[in-house]
Amino acid sequence: MFRIFRRRAQADRGFRDAQRAGQALLQMHAELPTPGSVAATARDTTEAAVVPDFLPPDFRVPSRQDVAGFMMRWDQPLIIDGEVRECPECGAYRNWVVFCMRDDSVWLRCRAAHETRELVLDAAWYNRHSGPADRWHPTLEDGLRHLGH
Ligand SMILES: [Zn+2]
């Protein structure tokens, strides 16, 4: 978990560096070269040359701060502390959608759209059991449709 956060921090730093380099390039084009600015311009160009392997913002996966939460399908019965979880409203015990929200809370949603907060599970559990997020959905409904719910 800590490793993931550090990697995000590095990505954020990389993004800020890319932004700074982009601004420097814009400035380069906006300003007429004057003898005093030559040194600064040369240094900024070097910084920009380091950036190319960094993806432009449109291609980046949204970070945890950009999304309301993550979701995954969980078709098998979900066993927590030796007990099969059941929907308190309809008794369903499989075909869940599991949500991990931005506040690290974990929620279960059954086929009948009953949503229950699962207090025993947390973001660390979710991260251990989910693959990397490979898709971004503009709405909850879109995400549910994608997961077949
Ligand atoms: Zn239910």
Neighbours of 16 (CB within 10 A): 10
Least confident of 52-56, 69-73, 109-113, 115-119: 52-56
Q: How far is the CA of 111 from the centre of ligand 1 (A)?
A: 6
**Model-wide pTM > 0.75:** no
pLDDT of 106 higher than 50: yes
Q: How far is the CA of 147 from the centre of ligand 1 (A)?
A: 17
Q: Which long-range contacts (CB under 8 A, 24 or more apart) does 16-25 make?
A: 17/47, 17/50, 17/51, 17/54, 18/51, 18/54, 20/47, 21/47, 21/48, 21/50, 21/51, 22/48, 24/48
Supply the pLDDT for residue 33. Answer: 43
Residues in the chain: 149
pLDDT of 5 higher than 90: no
Beta-bridge partners for 80: 83
Q: How far is the CA of 97 from the centre of ligand 1 (A)?
A: 11
- For 27, phi then psi, to 5°, come to -60, -40
Structural domain boundaries in the chain: 2-59, 64-146
Q: How far is the CA of 112 from the centre of ligand 1 (A)?
A: 5
Q: How far is the CA of 142 from the centre of ligand 1 (A)?
A: 20
Beta-bridge partners for 122: 105
pLDDT of 29 higher than 50: no
Q: How far is the CA of 140 from the centre of ligand 1 (A)?
A: 18
Q: How far is the CA of 91 from the centre of ligand 1 (A)?
A: 6
Confidence of residue 133 (pLDDT cuts 50, 70, 90): confident
Give the Cα separation of 108 and 98 in Å (integer).
5
Give the Cα separation of 53 and 134 in Å (integer).
20
Supply the pLDDT for residue 19. Answer: 64
pLDDT of 55 higher than 50: yes
pLDDT of 34 higher than 90: no
